[in-house]
Chain A
C-alpha cells in the first residue's frame, strides 16, 4: 500500500488526478462567469454604453482556490485514504486474550474493552478461534476457544473486579492449559504481582506472548487513619515520576441523610515519591459521618477507601450518682471507665437532662438507682431510637428497690434484694472467676485472664427470659452481664461496680475489650486477631471494581479471622462488614500496600494500549468537498449579484426565515392576549379528556349565545385554557370540569391560579357527578380529585349558597341551580359570621367580595351545550320538565356571569332605604 506518513491510499493512482488541477486552473481562469439574463425595459437607455473595465470577467483567485480544493478533496477522497494503515498481519491458530481485570484496570476499562474488540475484529478477519479470560474471575475448567464473533457479544459483560488474582488461582489455571498451542495477548494492569512469572512461562510455552499495558501510573488510596487528632490520608502510586496532584473527596451523609461530598483536600505527589500524605482536619461531628474517601476523576476501587469505626469517636456520656463524700479518686465510680474510654471516645460529663438532648451514642449510668419520671421517659425514648444504655451496679443499686418485683423498663433483669458477697472475710466461698463466654455472646472469643475475680454482685431473679439475656456469667452460673433489646437500642447491665470495689474486672484488659465488643469504644488502627476471633461479619455494602458502592444483598458472612488477613478476594470483596453494631471496612488497597510497576522479561513484546486503529478517511474528504462546493455556490451567487441584487428573494427569504421564528412565537402569544381581551370571553380549563373538553367548550358556547340574546353581555367564542401555558389574568371566569384522570397542575400553575383567585377571578369547579353523589362526601373519583386539586389552592371557607346570596337575584330570581343534574347543593364562599339581616329587606347585608370559587356537581356545561347546528347536545330530564330544567340552568348561567361581571351590585339594594331616607331629608 502506498502511504505518506500515517496516511495510506487504497487507490493511489487516482492521486495523479491532482496533476490536472493546475491545468484546470488556467482553463477556468480563462472562462468568465456566466452572465445573468434580465428583462429590463430600460435597456433602450443602455444602448451604446460600454464597460469601463474588462478584467472583472475573470473568476477571482480565491473562488478558484475554493474550487480547486474541492476538486482535490474529491480526488483524494476517491483515492481511498486510510489513517494508520496496518500492514502487519496476525498469525493464525488459536488466540488467547487475557486481561488482569483488577481494580487497577477499571480506570481505563473502556479502552481495554475497545482494544479487546479490536483484537477480536482482527482475529475474526483472520478466522482464528479465540478465548478471553479475566484473571480475577478465571473460568473453571479448560479454556473455551470460540469464534471471535461470539466473544464480541460477551465483551460487554467483562468487568474488572475489586480484588487481585492470587498466585494459587493463577497457578491452578495455568496447569489446566491443554496440549494445543496458542498465541496470547495479555492486557496487563501494569502492577507487579506474585504469580506473574508462572503465567509468563505458561504462555510462552504455548506460543507468542504479547503484552499490552498503559504507561499511566496506577494510583491507590490507602485507608485513612487518625493521627494527632486529624485524618491522615495517604495515596501510593506505581510510577513515581513527576509531580501529580490528586483531589480527594470525603463523602458521607449530610445531616439530612443524603450522601454528599463533605470535604475535599488536595494530595500532592512530589517527583520521585511513590507515596504522599495529607492531613485533613474535620470537626468530630463531620468526621463521624464520613463513609468513604475517593480520588476525584478516577473510577477504580483502588481510588476509594471506605471508613469504619476506626475513624469514629463515639460520644459517651458518663453519669454518676451525686456524691457528697469526698472520696478518693480511685474509688470514684467513673475512674476506670474514664481511663478505658478516654483514648477512643468523646466523653460527656454532665447531668442526664443536659446529656439527652446531645443524643450521645452511649450513656453509662454508674450505680444510679433513682431516676425521675421525666428522666426515665427521656431515656426510654432515646434507647428505643437506637441508644446504648450501660448500667453498672453498686451499693446504691443493691440497696434500692429498683427492678425488684417488676422489671424496670431500663433494667434487663429483676434483681434480688441486697446482692451477694462471696469470698470476703465473713464468707465461706472463694471469689468467683468468669465462665468462658457463650458463643452467642458478643464477648465470644475473648480470653479471660485468670486473675479476674468477682467478690460482690447484684443477683438477678430467675426468670424465663433470664437465660437469653445473660451475655457473661460467673463460674457458678450467676449472671455477670445481662442485656436486653429495646426498640432499636439496648440496655446492658454489669452486675458489678465500674470501679474495683466489687471485682477486679475494671483493672483488667478484658474490661476494655468488652467495652469495645459492646461498641462502646471503637478499635483504633488495624484490627487484631483478639478482637475478631469467633465473630462472623456480614457484608453490608460492597465496592465493585469501578469503586461504586452497592448493597451486599444476600452474600454470605465472613469469619473474623479472614478479616484480619486484610486481603480482599472474590470471597471477601472490599466493602463494609458488620458485626453487632461494629463495622469494619475492607479496602482494595490495604494499609501496607505498595504499588510496583510490572517488569517484563526483555524478550516479551510490550505494546501500549492506545494503538491507533485504521480509520477510513474517504467519507471525511468527500464531506469536505461537499462543504467546499456549497461554499462555492454561495460565493458564486454573491459574485454575480444574485445574493444581494434584485430577484434574490428566495435566498433572502431562507436567511430571514431563521430570524423570524421567535417573533412568530411572540406574535402568537400576542394574538392570544388580543383574542382573550378584545371582548368578554368565557373560558374553560383543558382537562385532557377530549370529550369533557368538547362538552365544556360547547356548553360555554351555548351559554354565550344565551347571554348574547338576553343580556348586555355579548361574549365572543369561548377559549380553552392550558393552565401551564396560558395567562389567566385575561379571563373573568373559568369553568373547570373535574376529570378523575387529569394531572395536578404544576407548582407554577398553582401559583398562577392563586394569583388569579386573589386578583378577583372566579373558578367554577364542576365535578359532574351530581347524579350519583352529593358534594363533599368524596365518594366519587371526581370528588376525590377535586379535593386533591383544591389542596394547593387558596380557597376561603365555603357554604352552600344561602337563600339571600346575590347569585339568586343578580339577573333572574332563582332558588335552584340545576345543570344536567338537579338538586345538589352548590357551594360558594361563606358569608361573614356577623352578617345581619338588613332592615326591611329579605336578605342580609352582605356587601363586599365576589366568591372566588363555585363548587358543584350538576354538570352545567352539559345542560348548556349546543352543537354547531344550534341543537342541544344532551337531553335534560324528560319532556317539558326537562326543558324547564334546562331553562333554569341557563338562567343560573346568566346569573352567574352577571355576578362575575357586576359583582355585588344587586346587593346594594340594601342601601336603598337609607338612600331614600337621606333624599327625603
Chain B
C-alpha cells in the first residue's frame, strides 16, 4: 500500500483541488532563492519585469530583438527577481503512528504522510522549496524532491515507540510543519518548538489521532501495550479509567495549543476518520498566514 508511487499519487490527488499555495512572503527578502514571489527587482525569474536600453557590457544574446526592431536602440528584457520559501516538514514515523483501530481506517502514520506530502505537493506547485527536517539534503523544489521525500518518509525508522520532532535539518527563518500524534514525551516537543522559535522558524503542529484514542471504548480486565511494546499498563476495569484518560488527553491537547501559541505556531488536531481535506485546508491556511 505504501509504495512510493501510491503515496505520491494519493497526495497529488489530495492536492489537486486546492489553488497553489503561496506561502507567506514575509521572509522573502532574507531568502535568496528563486520562487514565484516577486521581489520588485529585476533579476533571475520567469515573469517579465521591464525593458531597458542595452548598454555596453550587456551580452548580445540578452538583447530582445523583437522589441529592439521597433526602435533605433537595443533593448534588453529584464525579468523579475523571484524568491522561494523553504518549508521543512517533520512527520512522526514512530511505532505509535502505525495504530489503526479498525480495518477500514488508515493508520495515523499513513494519514500523516499523506497530509505532509499533500502540503509538499502544493508548495512545490507554488514554486516553494520543501524538505524534511530529518533529511540531510537541503530543501528543494521540483518533482524529484517530492519523490525523494516520499522515499525518505517510507524508509523512516519505526522502532521507537513515540517520536520526537527532529530539528537538525531545520534552517533559520524557514517555515516548518510537524505532524505527529504527540502522545510521547511532551518535553521533546517543547524543546523542539523552542529551538525552532529561537531560529525564527514558524509553522504548524498537526496532531493526528485515531477515533479510538478519543473514545477509549474499553471495558473489563485489560492489559494495554504500546505499539512497540515498551510501555504496558494493566487494569482490572478499563471502563473506570475512561474519564481520567480523556481528561489527560484534553490536558495534552491544551498543552500543545499553549505551546504553539507561545512560540507563534499554529496547532490543530485531526482524526483519521475525518476527511483529510479538512486538515489540509487548515495546513494551507496556517502556512499562508502572515506574521
Chain A positions near chain B (C-beta within 8 angstroms): 32-47, 49, 51-54, 56-57, 639-642, 644-646, 649
Instruction: Pick the residue among B212, B232, B234, B235 that contacts A646 (CB under 8 A).
Output: B212
Is there an interface contact between B236 and A56, defined as CB atoms closer than 8 Å? yes
Considering only CB atoms, which chain A residue lies closest to B251 in the complex?
A45
Is there an interface contact between B223 and A45, defined as CB atoms closer than 8 Å? no
Is there an interface contact between A44 and B162, defined as CB atoms closer than 8 Å? yes
A773 to chain B, nearest CB (A): 63
User: B221-243: contact bitstring with A at CB < 8 Å (1 yes, 0 no)?
Assistant: 11111110001111111111100
B48 within 8 A of A: no
B112 to chain A, nearest CB (A): 13
Is there an interface contact between B99 and A41, defined as CB atoms closer than 8 Å? yes
Is there an interface contact between A41 and B226, defined as CB atoms closer than 8 Å? yes
B267 to chain A, nearest CB (A): 18
Is there an interface contact between A44 and B231, defined as CB atoms closer than 8 Å? yes
Which residues of chain B have C-beta atoms less than 8 A from A46's C-beta?
Answer: 224, 233, 235, 241, 245, 248
Considering only CB atoms, which chain A residue lies closest to B244 in the complex?
A49
Which residues of chain B have C-beta atoms less than 8 A from A49's C-beta?
Answer: 233, 235, 241, 244-245
B107 to chain A, nearest CB (A): 10
Some 22 contacts from A to B, beta carbons below 8 A apart, are A33-B220, A35-B234, A38-B223, A40-B99, A41-B96, A41-B99, A41-B183, A41-B227, A42-B216, A42-B249, A43-B231, A43-B232, A44-B162, A44-B231, A52-B237, A53-B237, A640-B219, A641-B238, A641-B239, A646-B101, A646-B218, A649-B103
Report Cα–Cα, A645/B102, bound state, in Å: 12
Which residues of chain B have C-beta atoms less than 8 A from A54's C-beta?
Answer: 236
Report Cα–Cα, A642/B184, bound state, in Å: 28
Which residues of chain A have C-beta atoms less than 8 A from B216's C-beta?
Answer: 42
Is there an interface contact between B221 and A36, defined as CB atoms closer than 8 Å? yes
Which residues of chain A have C-beta atoms less than 8 A from B223's C-beta?
Answer: 35-38
User: B162-185: contact bitstring with A at CB < 8 Å (1 yes, 0 no)?
Assistant: 100000000000000000010110
Is there an interface contact between A51 and B226, defined as CB atoms closer than 8 Å? no
B10 to chain A, nearest CB (A): 23
Instruction: Pick the residue among A32, A41, A44, A47 that contacts B236 (CB under 8 A).
Output: A32
A802 to chain B, nearest CB (A): 63
Which residues of chain B have C-beta atoms less than 8 A from A56's C-beta?
Answer: 221, 236-237
B254 to chain A, nearest CB (A): 13
Interface contact tally, CB-CB below 8 A: 120
B182 to chain A, nearest CB (A): 10
Which residues of chain B have C-beta atoms less than 8 A from A641's C-beta?
Answer: 218-220, 222, 238-239
Instruction: Pick the residue among B219, B225, B245 that contacts A644 (CB under 8 A).
Output: B219
Considering only CB atoms, which chain A residue lies closest to B225 in the complex?
A39
B270 to chain A, nearest CB (A): 15
Chain B residues bordering chain A, tally (CB within 8 A): 42
Which residues of chain B have C-beta atoms less than 8 A from A45's C-beta?
Answer: 183, 245, 248-249, 252
User: B63-101: contact bitstring with A at CB < 8 Å (1 yes, 0 no)?
Assistant: 000000000000000000000000000000000110101
B198 within 8 A of A: no
A534 to chain B, nearest CB (A): 97
A517 to chain B, nearest CB (A): 95
B258 within 8 A of A: no
Which residues of chain B have C-beta atoms less than 8 A from A42's C-beta?
Answer: 183, 213, 216, 224, 245, 249
B19 within 8 A of A: no
Is there an interface contact between A44 and B226, defined as CB atoms closer than 8 Å? yes
Report Cα–Cα, A35/B219, bound state, in Å: 10
Is there an interface contact between B220 and A36, defined as CB atoms closer than 8 Å? yes
Considering only CB atoms, which chain A residue lies closest to B222 in the complex?
A36
Report Cα–Cα, A34/B236, bound state, in Å: 10
Which residues of chain B have C-beta atoms less than 8 A from A39's C-beta?
Answer: 99, 224-227
B255 to chain A, nearest CB (A): 12
B12 to chain A, nearest CB (A): 29
B166 to chain A, nearest CB (A): 19
5 pairs of A and B residues whose beta carbons are closest in the complex: A641-B219, A41-B96, A641-B220, A35-B221, A640-B220
B219 to chain A, nearest CB (A): 4
B144 within 8 A of A: no
Interface centre among B219, B224, B227, B237 (most CB of A within 10 A): B224
Considering only CB atoms, which chain B residue lies closest to A40 in the complex?
B224
User: B114-151: contact bitstring with A at CB < 8 Å (1 yes, 0 no)?
Assistant: 00000000000000000000000000000000000000
B262 to chain A, nearest CB (A): 22
Q: A38-B225, A41-B213 are in contact. Are A47 and B233 (CB under 8 A)?
A: yes
Report Cα–Cα, A246/B133, bound state, in Å: 100
Considering only CB atoms, which chain B residue lies closest to A56 in the complex?
B237
Q: A42-B213, A43-B231 are in contact. Are A639 and B245 (CB under 8 A)?
A: no
Which residues of chain A have C-beta atoms less than 8 A from B96's C-beta?
Answer: 41, 44
A37 to chain B, nearest CB (A): 5
Instruction: Pick the residue among A44, A52, A53, A645 that contacts B220 (CB under 8 A).
Output: A645
Which residues of chain B have C-beta atoms less than 8 A from A35's C-beta?
Answer: 220-223, 234
Further 16 A-B residue pairs, CB within 8 A, beyond A39-B99, A645-B218: A40-B212, A41-B96, A42-B245, A43-B224, A43-B231, A43-B233, A45-B252, A46-B241, A51-B236, A640-B219, A640-B221, A641-B220, A641-B238, A646-B212, A646-B218, A649-B103
Considering only CB atoms, which chain B residue lies closest to A46 in the complex?
B233
Which residues of chain A have C-beta atoms less than 8 A from B184's C-beta?
Answer: 44
Which residues of chain A have C-beta atoms less than 8 A from B224's C-beta?
Answer: 38-40, 42-43, 46
Is there an interface contact between B221 and A47, defined as CB atoms closer than 8 Å? no
Report Cα–Cα, A33/B162, bound state, in Å: 31
Is there an interface contact between A47 and B225, defined as CB atoms closer than 8 Å? no
B217 within 8 A of A: yes
Which residues of chain A have C-beta atoms less than 8 A from B217's C-beta?
Answer: 645-646
Considering only CB atoms, which chain B residue lies closest to A33 in the complex?
B221
Is there an interface contact between B222 and A38, defined as CB atoms closer than 8 Å? yes
Which residues of chain B have C-beta atoms less than 8 A from A645's C-beta?
Answer: 217-220
Which residues of chain B have C-beta atoms less than 8 A from A52's C-beta?
Answer: 237, 240
Considering only CB atoms, which chain A residue lies closest to B186 in the complex?
A44
Considering only CB atoms, which chain A residue lies closest to B247 in the complex?
A45
Q: A46-B224, A51-B235, A56-B236 are in contact. Are A41 and B181 (CB under 8 A)?
A: yes
Report Cα–Cα, A417/B39, bound state, in Å: 153
Which residues of chain A have C-beta atoms less than 8 A from B222's C-beta?
Answer: 35-38, 641
A39 to chain B, nearest CB (A): 6
A381 to chain B, nearest CB (A): 85
B235-291 residues at the A interface, CB under 8 angstroms? 235-241, 244-245, 248-249, 252
Which residues of chain A have C-beta atoms less than 8 A from B183's C-beta?
Answer: 41-42, 44-45
A424 to chain B, nearest CB (A): 122
Which residues of chain A have C-beta atoms less than 8 A from B232's C-beta?
Answer: 43
Considering only CB atoms, which chain A residue lies closest to B246 in the complex?
A45
Which residues of chain B have C-beta atoms less than 8 A from A644's C-beta?
Answer: 219
Is there an interface contact between A40 and B225, defined as CB atoms closer than 8 Å? yes
B261 to chain A, nearest CB (A): 22
Which residues of chain A have C-beta atoms less than 8 A from B210's C-beta?
Answer: 41
Which residues of chain A have C-beta atoms less than 8 A from B238's C-beta?
Answer: 641
Which residues of chain A have C-beta atoms less than 8 A from B218's C-beta?
Answer: 38, 40, 641, 645-646
Which residues of chain B have C-beta atoms less than 8 A from A36's C-beta?
Answer: 220-223
B110 to chain A, nearest CB (A): 14
Which residues of chain B have C-beta atoms less than 8 A from A53's C-beta?
Answer: 236-237, 240
Considering only CB atoms, which chain B residue lies closest to A637 in the complex?
B220
Which residues of chain B have C-beta atoms less than 8 A from A32's C-beta?
Answer: 221, 236
B35 to chain A, nearest CB (A): 38
A30 to chain B, nearest CB (A): 15
Interface centre among B231, B236, B239 (most CB of A within 10 A): B236
Report Cα–Cα, A644/B181, bound state, in Å: 27
Which residues of chain A have C-beta atoms less than 8 A from B233's C-beta?
Answer: 43, 46-47, 49
Report Cα–Cα, A37/B222, bound state, in Å: 6
Report Cα–Cα, A646/B181, bound state, in Å: 21
A622 to chain B, nearest CB (A): 31
Which residues of chain B have C-beta atoms less than 8 A from A649's C-beta?
Answer: 102-103
Report Cα–Cα, A40/B210, bound state, in Å: 10
Which residues of chain A have C-beta atoms less than 8 A from B248's C-beta?
Answer: 45-46
Is there an interface contact between B220 and A47, defined as CB atoms closer than 8 Å? no
Considering only CB atoms, which chain A residue lies closest to B213 in the complex?
A42
A57 to chain B, nearest CB (A): 5
